[in-house]
Each structure stands twice: as structure tokens, then as C-alpha cells.
């Protein structure tokens, strides 16, 4: 039913092209730059662009604010060209279910805190306490206000707009699920973790896109994906940071150990393999999903 929401509006091919064009340009240029530069050059460029100010909170505001413009452009083009409500881009329900968003957020939040606590209790030799109230409180406020904008754009564009338009075009759920997951991964190929660890990190980003896409299709709405994505980025910004994190913040903890690429990749994949099935089971039981992705 979520994909079929697109049928409530106008769907001429040129309308879809016009909506996608600004983002094709933005993402396309970023990817071309990524391909043109060596890993070292690209990593240096990312560091320079993400460290325009000495104050990390200002850098975070600058980075996240850009998504505000992208989200505004997306929703404006969508509304005027397709002539249907934003609710139909969000859910198949009569109105947005904010309880679902909050439930997903807090479930993911506490699971990630729990996993970190277990890891910290096993070996804390490479993790140092980095808390500074004068820097952390502004970070907390910025994260609560601006991460919804950033994840809102990504979810509305990939799991919302592209999922629906590709879905009605191919009359399928699997095709848009795979395409949007791969595109979501490719967009994140410009992250510093990829430059440091290698292109195999695409397993994590594409896998995460696949997980959120499955949630969207099973639940017929973006609410659970929005809550999951918000909690994931919120924790990444406020709990622990490292030298190669995409989000350079004054988090509560800082990883100070040697960057063993193989170990970092393995830990990332293992956490994904543990957490995603657990979350899917919780949501499945809570919302009584049925496997109807055909």
C-alpha cells in the first residue's frame, strides 16, 4: 500500500525527472570527485571541508544545515509537480504515526547503548572519556534539532520518493528495494570511513539501506525507518567519535586506539548482523508484520 500511494498524484515521467534532477547533479558531482581523487586526496578534502571552524559544533551545524535546503527543494518539487500531500509520501496510514517514530528511536537508542556498554566493559583500553559539558550540551541540542532534517531528506528521497516512483514504474517492491538500497550505499561512498577502510564498507551502507527499505515496505510507511535512522545518527554523534568518523563531534567518548581497518570492518558488520535481525524481530512482534514484499 505504501508504494501505491504514488498513484494518488500525477506521475508523468518528466515530473519524476524534474524532481530528481537537482539531486542527480549534487550526488553525481560528489561521486565523480570521489572517483577522480586518490583515497588520500579525497580524505584530505573531506577533512578540510568538515573542519572549516575550530568549533566542531559549528562544523556540524554547517554540514547538517545543507540537508535543510535539499529537503525543502525535494518537498516543494514533490508537492507542486505530483500534486499530492506529504502524508502520502510518508505513510499509507491516514496520518503520520509519530508513536512509531518515537518507539523505533528509543528501541534503537537503548540497544546501541547496551551494545556499547558491553563492548566497553570487555575492553576499554582504547576508549577515553571525552565529556565536556560546555561542548556536549550544544551538541545535544544541535543533534536533536538538525538530525531530523538530515535523516528526513535521506528517508523521504530514498525510501519515500524513489521507492514509490520506481515501484509504480516496475510494478514491484523488490526492484525499488534493491535500487534504493544500492543508491543509498553509493551516496555514502564519499564518507571518510570508506576512504579509510575501503569500498567493502559498502556492505554496511547498502545493508543498512536494505534494512530500512524492508522496514518501510513491511510497515507500509517511513515512520520506523525515520526513528531508526534518527537514533543511529544521534548515537553516532553524541556517544563516541574517532579520527575517521564521518561525524567529527565532541562526543562523550573518543576511540584512541590504532585504526585496524580489518577489525573495524569486522566489528561494524558483526554489530549489524546482531542488531538488525533483533530490531526486525521486535518490530515484527510489535506491529504484527506479514511478509508481503512481492
pLDDT tens by residue, 88-128: 999 999 999 999 999 999 999 999 999 899 888 988 888 89
184: which 3 cell numbers?
543509498
Nearest Cα to Cα of residue 244 among 86, 46, 29: 46
Cα–Cα separations (whole angstroms), residue 83 to 11, 120, 160, 161, 176: 9, 51, 15, 13, 22
**Span 25-53, pLDDT tens digits:** 988 887 777 677 766 666 666 666 656 66
What pLDDT score was predicted for residue 281?
94
What pLDDT score was predicted for residue 291?
74
pLDDT for residue 5 is more than 70: yes
Mean pLDDT of the chain: 88
The residue assigned the cell 515530473 is: 15
pLDDT for residue 195 is more than 80: no
pLDDT for residue 10 is more than 90: yes
Which DSSP symbol is given to 199?
Answer: G
Give yes or no for a contact between 224 and 100, defined as CB atoms under 8 angstroms apart: yes
| Max avg pLDDT among 11-20, 242-251, 254-263, 269-278 | 11-20
What pLDDT score was predicted for residue 279?
95
What pLDDT score was predicted for residue 47?
63
Kindly report which listed range (18-27, 48-57, 166-175, 281-290) carries the lowest average pLDDT score.
Answer: 48-57
State the pLDDT confidence band at 245, using cuts at 50, 70 and 90.
Answer: confident
Please write down the HEC assignment for all residues of 214-233.
HHHHHHCECHHHHHHHHHHH
3-state secondary structure of 128: strand
The set of long-range contacts for 53-60, using a CB threshold of 8 Å and a minimum separation of 24, is: 56/135, 56/139, 56/248, 56/249, 56/250, 57/135, 57/138, 57/139, 57/142, 57/249, 57/250, 59/248, 60/139, 60/142, 60/143, 60/146, 60/237, 60/247, 60/248, 60/249
What pLDDT score was predicted for residue 242?
78
Once rounded to an integer, what is the mean pLDDT over residues 281-292? 88
Alpha carbons 225 and 231: distance in angstroms, whole number: 10
Q: How much of the chain is in helix, strand and coil states, percent to nearest 5?
A: 75, 5, 20
What pLDDT score was predicted for residue 192?
67
State the pLDDT confidence band at 226, using cuts at 50, 70 and 90.
Answer: very high
What pLDDT score was predicted for residue 229?
96
Kindly report which listed range (39-48, 151-160, 271-280) carries the lowest average pLDDT score.
Answer: 39-48
Once rounded to an integer, what is the mean pLDDT over residues 167-187? 92
**Span 121-137, pLDDT tens digits:** 988 888 899 999 999 99
Domain edges within the chain: 3-287
Q: 270 Cβ partners below 8 Å, 6+ apart?
A: none
Once rounded to an integer, what is the mean pLDDT over residues 246-268? 75
What pLDDT score was predicted for residue 122?
86
pLDDT for residue 16 is more than 90: yes
Give yes or no for a contact between 177 and 105, defined as CB atoms under 8 angstroms apart: no
Amino acid at each position: 500500500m505504501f508504494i501505491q500511494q504514488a498513484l494518488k498524484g500525477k506521475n508523468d515521467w518528466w515530473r519524476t525527472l524534474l524532481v530528481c534532477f537537482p539531486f542527480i547533479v549534487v550526488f553525481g558531482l560528489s561521486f565523480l570527485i570521489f572517483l577522480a581523487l586518490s583515497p588520500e586526496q579525497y580524505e584530505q578534502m573531506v577533512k578540510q571541508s568538515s573542519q572549516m571552524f575550530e568549533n566542531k559544533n559549528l562544523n556540524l551545524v554547517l554540514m547538517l544545515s545543507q540537508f535543510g535546503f535539499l529537503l525543502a527543494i525535494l518537498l516543494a518539487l514533490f508537492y507542486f509537480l505530483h500534486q499530492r500531500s506529504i502524508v502520502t509520501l510518508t505513510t499509507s496510514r491516514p496520518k503520520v504515526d509519530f508513536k512509531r517514530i518515537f518507539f523505533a528511536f528509543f528501541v534503537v537508542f537503548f540497544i546501541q547503548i547496551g551494545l556499547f556498554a558491553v563492548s566497553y566493559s570487555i575492553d576499554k583500553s582504547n576508549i577515553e572519556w571525552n565529556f565536556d559539558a560546555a561542548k556536549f550540551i550544544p551538541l545535544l541540542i544541535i543533534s536533536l534539532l538538525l538530525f531530523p532534517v538530515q535523516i528526513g531528506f535521506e528517508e523521504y528521497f530514498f525510501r519515500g520518493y524513489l521507492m514509490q516512483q520506481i515501484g509504480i514504474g516496475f510494478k514491484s517492491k523488490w526492484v525499488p528495494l534493491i535500487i534504493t538500497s544500492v543508491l543509498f550505499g553509493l551516496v555514502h561512498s564519499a564518507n571518510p570511513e570508506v576512504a579509510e577502510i575501503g569500498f567493502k564498507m559498502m556492505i554496511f551502507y547498502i545493508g543498512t539501506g536494505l534494512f530500512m527499505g524492508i522496514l518501510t515496505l513491511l510497515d507500509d510507511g517511513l515512520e520506523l525507518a525515520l526513528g531508526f535512522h534518527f537514533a543511529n545518527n544521534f548515537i553516532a554523534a553524541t556517544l563516541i567519535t574517532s579520527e575517521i568518523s564521518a561525524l567529527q563531534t565532541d562526543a562523550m567518548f573518543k576511540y584512541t586506539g590504532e585504526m585496524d581497518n580489518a577489525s573495524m570492518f569486522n566489528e561494524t558488520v558483526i554489530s549489524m548482523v546482531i542488531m538488525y535481525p533483533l530490531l526486525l524481530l521486535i518490530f515484527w512482534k510489535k506491529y504484527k508484520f506479514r511478509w508481503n514484499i512481492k
